[in-house]
């Protein structure tokens, strides 16, 4: 049985969770806020369709979220990760960081201006794909389960072309 | 730096070469060329190399070309790849030293020199690519570069290797794909590891120092994909991106497919890799894909084998999914009996569940799902009986002749007429088949 889908959000201030709360309520998804990398990891490892939002602090001294993206995409490649930065960058820096985040395993890198529709579209699309993967696998596994063998009738007549006429 | 050419000595002439000096041969080349010995020590570099590096050959001779921490950036840049040291020509893109990031990059082609007793040296040819970017734009910290390096080390061909024949075949194809920059189309069932394979090819290919950007075409709205790739600060046109991987590109609208195709045609340094359950030809024939994906953008088509075709890899794959956990032989038998329709994804789920059920010790048979154990216990279908045509025909003939004789009261003439054959033939067949003819009920035969 598949458990309820969850949006796991690693952030400091709860802003992303607030933006996605309506979407989660509409679809009966869980919102699992995480304050530390370890708690985010343990939430994502639970077997359920899941999308991880990571508030990525693009700074030299804070590589925790980036390490989480790299480690998680390696360990659980089916969990889509959205990296969200609230730092305004110029075009060149933005390209550099976006390329680095994609390279580390993020499925999408979002930069300001961040709007609720964009976050919701990213969450709904990736969650739909995650559910398809999970439910699809379950269906495939069910289809491959051993089927009951057809029961053979005990008094099944044996067709013999010649017998009847032989004994006429 | 020395601008003058060094005198050609007899050392540059191989025995019996009748005056041919290989050093002079390379000195005239505008391409920076260098030679390292078996022990990765620099043995030769031409004038173009001296000009590029700003180091004279006399200073650099004997320098160890390896990526050891204590070494300089130049030493790390010139280090031959493991592929080259294993005897296969290889190409690597590295940041021009002393910078840790490109552009500019050095595309170094390593050509191994193999003798009877193995590799005795490697020749390197350097090509400079890309323009330097302003320092202000180089804000990605060194820590990210370290994460990248760890990731690149993880996604090597070792990750794909396995004892199964299907795997060996696929890995050799993937190694070839890593040698070139041609567009790649990976075909494989769901969960068979297409994206992982694409990453491994990227990290072993000429674009390895640049980013691998994977786009889930079915999971993201087209406007988000277009914005991430072509919008303000989009990554598609960036020199930073080496491989653009499209997961199920058939899910993209056709106008965006065409835009991507046009973009790849205009940016030959960018490698396009696509992963799909179907071939490009099939997707084009069903109208799900614009034709250019079949003609120009699937030059290399690799088929990722499903897990059921590489069951010999199971112990190795299990060790990767649940490291430090042993797999009991009875459990392995159960895993090998399963058909794995969900491929590696299903295997990972099953093994992680089993590991959760048994926090300590090896994974035993009873930790695996019941349905798999039942299936493994089910007796295999008995081999079908051989269909021996002669024996069957003989039996049928016997029955028909006996039937005809019975109907005709053992009269062979009438029985022959009934069977549509001459009497003589019927007699011969009765004798050959060893039929015991009964006496007629009414008297003589």
pLDDT value at residue B140? 66
Contact B277, B252 (CB under 8 A): no
Task: Give how far A22 is from chain B: nearest CA, Å.
Answer: 19
Q: Compute the count of residue pairs across chains A and B with CB atoms less than 8 Å apart.
A: 155
pLDDT at A120 exceeding the cut of 90: yes
Residues of chain B by 3-state class (helix, strand, coil), percent to 5? 45, 15, 40
B414 touches chain A (CB under 8 A): no
pTM, rounded to two decimals: 0.66
Give the whole-number percent of chain B exceeding pLDDT 90: 38
Distance CA B314, CA B321 (A): 10
Check residue B185 and give its pLDDT.
95
Whether the upstream peptide bond of residue B334 has omega within 30° of 0, thus cis, is no
Residue-averaged pLDDT of chain B = 85
Phi-psi region of A69 (alpha: psi -120 to 50; beta: other; left: phi over 0): alpha
Judge contact between B313 and B340, C-beta under 8 A. Answer: no
| Partner A, chain B 378-397, Cβ-Cβ below 8 Å | 378
B346 touches chain A (CB under 8 A): yes
Q: How confident is the model at residue A137 (pLDDT cuts 50, 70, 90)?
A: low
Q: Minimal Cα distance from B321: which residue of A?
A: A75
The answer for B 271-330 residues in CB contact with A (under 8 A) is none
The distance of A164 to chain B (nearest Cα, Å) reads 10
Choosing among B235, B320, B399, which should be mutated to test the A contact, i.e. which has the most A CBs within 10 A?
Answer: B235
CB contact under 8 A, B371 and A102: no
B67 touches chain A (CB under 8 A): no
- How confident is the model at residue B3, as a pLDDT? 45
Look at residue A153 and tell me whether its pLDDT is greater than 60: no
Looking at CA atoms only, how far is residue A138 from chain B in angstroms? 9
Sequence-distant (6+) residues with CB within 8 A of B360 are none
**3-state SS, residue A117:** helix
Which residues does B61 contact at the CB level (< 8 Å), separation at least 6?
B42, B43
Q: What residues does B275 pair with on adjacent strands?
A: B186, B247
Alpha carbon separation from B209 to A114, B92, B120, B145, B244 (Å, rounded): 30, 8, 27, 10, 14
How many CB atoms are closer than 10 A to CB A68? 25
Yes or no, beta carbons of A97 and B339 under 8 Å apart = no
Q: Which residues of chain B have pLDDT under 50?
A: 1-8, 134-137, 443-445
Helix (H) or strand (E) holding B78: helix B73-78
**DSSP H or E run through B107:** strand B105-115
Q: Which of A102, A122, A162 sits opposite B213 (nearest CB)?
A: A102
ipTM of the complex model: 0.81
The Cα of B58 is separated from the nearest Cα of chain A by a number of Å equal to 39
Is A74 within 8 Å of B151 when comparing Cβ atoms? yes
Q: What is the pLDDT of residues B396-444, one digit of tens each?
A: 999 999 899 888 888 889 999 999 999 999 999 988 888 877 766 554 4
Give the pLDDT of residue B295.
87
* Beta carbons within 8 Å of B372's beta carbon, 6+ residues apart: B334, B335, B337, B338, B350
DSSP B343: H
* Packing angle, helices B423-433 and B389-407, rounded to 10: 120
CA gap A118, A128 in Å, rounded: 15
């Amino acid at each position: 049985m598949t458990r309820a889908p969850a949006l796991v959000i690693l952030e400091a201030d709860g802003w992303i969770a607030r933006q996605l709360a309506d979407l989660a309520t509409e679809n009966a998804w869980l919102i699992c806020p995480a304050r530390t990398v370890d708690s985010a990891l343990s939430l994502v490892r639970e077997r359920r369709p899941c999308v991880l939002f990571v508030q990525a602090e693009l700074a030299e001294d804070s590589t925790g979220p980036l390490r989480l993206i790299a480690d998680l995409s390696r360990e659980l490649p089916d969990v889509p990760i959205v990296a969200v930065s609230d730092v305004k960058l110029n075009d060149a820096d933005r390209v550099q960081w976006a390329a680095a985040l994609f390279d580390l395993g993020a499925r999408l890198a979002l930069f300001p201006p961040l709007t609720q529709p964009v976050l919701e579209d990213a969450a709904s699309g990736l969650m739909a794909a995650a559910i398809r993967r999970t439910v699809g696998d379950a269906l495939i596994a069910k289809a491959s389960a051993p089927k009951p063998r057809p029961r053979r009738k005990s008094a099944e007549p044996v067709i013999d072309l010649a017998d009847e006429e032989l004994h006429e | 730096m020395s601008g003058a050419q060094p005198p050609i000595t007899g050392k540059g002439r191989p025995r019996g070469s009748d005056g041919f000096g290989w050093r002079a041969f390379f000195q005239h080349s505008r391409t920076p060329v260098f030679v390292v010995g078996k022990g990765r020590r620099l043995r030769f570099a031409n004038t173009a190399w001296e000009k590029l590096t700003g180091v004279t050959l006399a200073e650099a001779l004997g320098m160890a070309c390896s990526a050891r921490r204590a070494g300089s950036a130049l030493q790390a840049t010139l280090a031959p790849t493991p592929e080259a040291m294993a005897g296969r020509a290889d190409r690597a893109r590295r940041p021009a030293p002393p910078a840790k990031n490109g552009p500019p990059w050095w595309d170094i082609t390593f050509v191994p020199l193999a003798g009877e007793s193995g590799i005795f040296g490697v020749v390197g040819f350097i090509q400079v690519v890309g323009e330097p970017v302003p320092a202000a734009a180089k804000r990605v910290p060194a820590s990210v570069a370290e994460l990248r390096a760890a990731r690149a080390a993880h996604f090597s061909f070792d990750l794909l290797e396995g004892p199964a024949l299907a795997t060996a075949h696929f890995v050799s194809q993937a190694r070839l794909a890593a040698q070139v920059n041609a567009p790649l189309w990976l075909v494989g069932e769901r969960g068979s590891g297409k994206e992982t394979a694409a990453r491994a090819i990227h990290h072993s290919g000429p674009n390895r120092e640049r980013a691998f950007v994977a786009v889930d075409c079915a999971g993201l709205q087209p406007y988000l994909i277009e914005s991430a790739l072509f919008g303000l600060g989009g990554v598609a046109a960036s020199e930073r991106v080496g491989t653009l991987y499209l997961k199920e590109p058939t899910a993209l609208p056709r106008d965006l497919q065409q835009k991507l195709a046009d973009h790849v045609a205009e940016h030959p340094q960018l490698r396009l890799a696509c992963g799909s359950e179907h071939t490009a030809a099939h997707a084009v024939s069903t109208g799900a894909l614009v034709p250019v994906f079949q003609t120009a953008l699937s030059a290399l088509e690799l088929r990722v084998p499903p897990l059921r075709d590489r069951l010999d890899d199971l112990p190795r794959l299990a060790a990767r999914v649940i490291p430090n956990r042993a797999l009991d032989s009875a459990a392995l038998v159960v895993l090998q009996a399963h058909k794995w329709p969900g491929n590696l994804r299903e295997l990972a789920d099953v093994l992680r569940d089993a590991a959760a059920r048994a926090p300590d010790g090896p994974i035993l048979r009873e930790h695996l799902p019941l349905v798999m154990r039942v299936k493994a216990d089910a007796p295999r279908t008995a081999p079908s009986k051989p269909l021996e045509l002669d024996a069957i025909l003989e039996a049928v003939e016997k029955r028909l002749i006996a039937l005809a004789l019975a109907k005709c009261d053992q009269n062979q003439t009438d029985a022959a007429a009934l069977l549509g054959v001459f009497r003589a033939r019927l007699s011969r067949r009765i004798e050959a088949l060893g039929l015991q003819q009964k006496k007629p009920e009414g008297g003589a035969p």
